[in-house]
Chains A and B, each alone.
Chain A
Amino acid sequence: MEPLLSIRGLKKRYGAHTALDGIDLDLPQAEVFGLLGPNGAGKTSLIRIINRILEADEGHILFQGRPIEAADVRRIGYMPEERGLYQKMEVGEQAVYFARLKGMTEAAAKTALKEWFERFSIESWWKKKVEELSKGMAQKVQFIATVVHRPELIILDEPFSGFDPVNADLVKEEILRLSREGATILFSTHRMESVESLCSRIALIDRSKLVIQGPVGEVRKRYREHVYRLEWSAAAGGPEPHWPEGIEVLERAEIDPRHHRVRLRLPEGLSNSDVLRPVLEVGEPLFFEEVLPSIHEIFVRTVAGQIQPL
């Protein structure tokens, strides 16, 4: 299927500083795409260019296969990192205003908003002024205002920053639901906690360059270090398995006298059987799994320059 958004050769400079240096990126339809990177890496610049807030110096963006144009911003819902609401305005009126700026009619906006307010059980807030809401409440309104016009592309810049855990979970669920219903979601963060549970694909930007891109599982496999976790049971006080040459024992633990655990790194050319054989000699294997690096680890190590991007 054609990607919803294709970014090719995007460059952006601010004076002497290069914010984006030749970014190529594809956002497949209906996926949750995590845009990762440390602060200042260029995520917000990229997002602002997609939203046509900034202009790129070079490169182009295709929306459903054709160059993105002004009218397309109506098909995008954007929740910026720097976000807020008019404090003195009523919640309902304000949400209608935002929806109208996205091209909805007043009637359609009201109907859609009432639905969302019901879903979040906040119908009673309609006539309240924003300044009367707590921060968490305002965040819900903000999220609704971002998605009420049923955008095909939803861009969330650091969506969970400032959200309390309860609202963060609520929004997470809604993001997944919108994605199941066909929306493509691009969300940027420099915090990794939510990435693996939410994203199907990621891209990592570091120092204005795209360094990693791909489906989450694939990226983790790409950075595999051949580390395995192995647990077995054996008679108390029995002998240690005799590991073959080249295996590195990273961790050895005794959960109880009959239950043992190791973390091992396998050298090239060694098979799983080579690992299991010594265990079978001393006891019974209970658990054997390859430990793939988490996105968090990949992120930290890439940004710190420990591993070369592939």
Chain B
Amino acid sequence: MSHIGSIVGREYSTRVRKRSFLILTIVGPILMAAVGILPIYLASLPEPARQVIVLDKPGLLKGQRGNADVELRYLGPPEKFELEEAKKLFLQTEEYALLYIPTGSDSDPDFIAQRVQIYGREDVSLNVKSYLEEQIREAIESEKLRAQGVDPALIAQTKTQVTIHSFNLAEDGKQEQSSVELKMGVSFLSAILMYIFIFLFGAQVMTGVLEEKGSRVVEVLISSVRPFELMMGKILGIGAVGLTQFAIWIVLTAVLYIGFTTLFLGDRLEALRTAQEAGQVLESGGLQNLVDMVESLNLPLLLGGFVFFFLAGYLLYSALFAAVGSAVDNPGDTQQFMMPITIPIVAAFAVSTQVIEHPDGALAFWFSMIPLTSPIVMMTRLVFGVPAWELILSMVLLILGFLGTTWMAGRIYRSGILMYGKKASWADLWKWIRN
């Protein structure tokens, strides 16, 4: 195994020095954050209020002016206008839409509720429509209440907002604020990240093997080193690249997170902490809540788990990827052998969306035990808390799994890399394994 160091070194250094590595490492998280934050940011940008002309025949809305997004302007007096006139008028203006609330013959509010119309030059936005529906509903409900002799103000007073604060209670009585929403988010993120990492770096192993075979370097190499050393050196080198990338991302995220929280929430957090220590319960805002929740996560377990399951899962799959790379001559021929590798990864990812809902279910349990799916599924479960014995069993099985695939892949690899011009079949692979 004396050469493995040199091989790992070459695989690692040629990749880490590539510009694409630097770009992916720096830009990757920014891009991911942007995908999450940009829509929220864009939605929060102030837009000029949309002007809606209202022909309110029954005077239902009582001349209210709308909100920041929708500005209501009334045609009046309403009895002097008919719908057709209003339409003509609307077309002469630049306004956004025309809302028409008709009167019923007997002023039946339900009759009115079913006959409100809105006109626009183009489709009227869903936001505007639902806002107007809400206003009209409230107005009609008030009318109905009044008809029953109930003061709507009284109803408003009795309205109550309920928030349930959830806690996880440990055996020793310690309680921690829990946050299913955040955990689901983290769980899903872990699954995606694991999926991407295994595919990304596993595929790199395959491409690397194909490159060595295609450029005919491989026979020069295996006259100096054993095929197994060459394969393991490549796998370990690329795995180290993956870990480096992950480490940089974690550090970047931590720096951004700490920077963000101290910069924007520093004072308020401090106040919150003092209050909590004093036993007070403070009404806390959304962001502070988030900070609390993040701090309630078992980050060392999550990070440690990710490193382990990435490494072991990667080792398992990259050996298979290496075997596929060795068995074919050009990237186009990998298809037939890729299927059985891709299916479990994709299945694991699909299952993990169910596992997020039922992290302790039978599906979750079995898929987090099978070595081919456990890296992704166990990472999905980990944030919700997994019994120690399950975690250990899953890890042991995964280690056995990658030892098995590595052994098998090594046998395919050493025969495959010397085969040129002949497309290997499944029967060939089987023969190579047995030989």
CA distance in complex: A85, B221 (Å): 10
Judge whether A118 is part of the interface by a CB distance below 8 angstroms.
no
Q: Give chain A nearest CB distance to B122 CB in angstroms.
A: 53
Hey, which chain A residues are within 8 Å of B212, CB to CB? 86
Hey, which chain B residues are within 8 Å of A100, CB to CB? 6
Chain A contacts with B in 78-105, Cβ cutoff 8 A? 78-80, 82-89, 97-98, 100-102
Hey, which chain B residues are within 8 Å of A79, CB to CB? 220
Hey, which chain A residues are within 8 Å of B226, CB to CB? 70
Chain B contacts with A in 6-29, Cβ cutoff 8 A? 6-7, 10, 14
CA distance in complex: A308, B285 (Å): 98
How many A residues face the partner with a CB closer than 8 A? 27
Q: Does A80 contact B6, Cβ atoms closer than 8 Å?
A: no
Q: Please judge, given known A-B contacts A80-B219, A86-B217, A100-B6, whether A73 and B224 are in contact too, CB under 8 Å.
A: yes
Closest to B5 in A: A100
CA distance in complex: A52, B221 (Å): 12
CA distance in complex: A101, B220 (Å): 10
Q: Give chain B nearest CB distance to A68 CB in angstroms.
A: 13
CA distance in complex: A74, B225 (Å): 10
Q: Does B220 contact A78, Cβ atoms closer than 8 Å?
A: yes
Hey, which chain B residues are within 8 Å of A85, CB to CB? 215, 217
CA distance in complex: A219, B212 (Å): 41
Judge whether A4 is part of the interface by a CB distance below 8 angstroms.
no
Q: Does A82 contact B219, Cβ atoms closer than 8 Å?
A: yes
CA distance in complex: A88, B420 (Å): 22
Hey, which chain B residues are within 8 Å of A275, CB to CB? none
Q: In the complex, which of the residues A52, A73, A83, A97 contacts B219, with contact meaning CB atoms closer than 8 Å? A: A83
Hey, which chain A residues are within 8 Å of B14, CB to CB? 86, 88-89
* In the complex, per-residue mask of A270-307: 1 if CB is within 8 Å of any chain B CB, else 0: 00000000000000000000000000000000000000
Q: Does A83 contact B223, Cβ atoms closer than 8 Å?
A: no
Judge whether B294 is part of the interface by a CB distance below 8 angstroms.
no
Closest to A82 in B: B216
Q: Does A86 contact B6, Cβ atoms closer than 8 Å?
A: no
* In the complex, per-residue mask of A142-172: 1 if CB is within 8 Å of any chain B CB, else 0: 1001100000000000000000000000000
Q: Does B3 contact A87, Cβ atoms closer than 8 Å?
A: no
Most chain-A CB neighbours within 10 Å: which of B6, B10, B211, B220? Answer: B220
Q: Does B219 contact A86, Cβ atoms closer than 8 Å?
A: no
Hey, which chain A residues are within 8 Å of B222, CB to CB? 53
Q: Does A97 contact B10, Cβ atoms closer than 8 Å?
A: yes
Judge whether A51 is part of the interface by a CB distance below 8 angstroms.
yes
Chain A contacts with B in 197-218, Cβ cutoff 8 A? none
Hey, which chain A residues are within 8 Å of B223, CB to CB? 51-53, 73, 76, 78, 80
Judge whether B350 is part of the interface by a CB distance below 8 angstroms.
no
Judge whether B150 is part of the interface by a CB distance below 8 angstroms.
no
Hey, which chain A residues are within 8 Å of B420, CB to CB? 82
CA distance in complex: A243, B222 (Å): 62
Hey, which chain B residues are within 8 Å of A98, CB to CB? 220, 224
Hey, which chain B residues are within 8 Å of A78, CB to CB? 220, 223
CA distance in complex: A78, B216 (Å): 13
CA distance in complex: A88, B13 (Å): 12
Q: Give chain A nearest CB distance to B304 CB in angstroms.
A: 34
Hey, which chain B residues are within 8 Å of A97, CB to CB? 6, 10
Most chain-A CB neighbours within 10 Å: which of B219, B221, B222? Answer: B219
Q: Does A84 contact B215, Cβ atoms closer than 8 Å?
A: yes
Judge whether B418 is part of the interface by a CB distance below 8 angstroms.
yes
CA distance in complex: A73, B224 (Å): 6
Chain A contacts with B in 51-68, Cβ cutoff 8 A? 51-53
Hey, which chain A residues are within 8 Å of B220, CB to CB? 78-80, 83-84, 98, 142, 145-146
Residues in chain A within 8 A of chain B (CB atoms):
48, 51-53, 70, 73-74, 76, 78-80, 82-89, 97-98, 100-102, 142, 145-146
Q: A86-B211, A98-B224 are in contact. List 9 more A-B contacts (CB 8 A).
A: A52-B223, A70-B226, A73-B223, A80-B219, A80-B223, A83-B217, A101-B6, A101-B221, A145-B220
Kindly list the 3 A-B residue pairs having the minimum CB-CB distance in the complex, ordered from nearest: A84-B216, A101-B224, A78-B223
What are 21 A-B residue pairs whose CB atoms fall within 8 Å in the complex? Answer: A52-B223, A73-B223, A73-B224, A74-B224, A76-B223, A82-B216, A82-B219, A83-B216, A85-B215, A86-B14, A86-B212, A86-B215, A86-B217, A88-B14, A98-B224, A100-B6, A101-B3, A101-B7, A101-B221, A101-B224, A101-B225
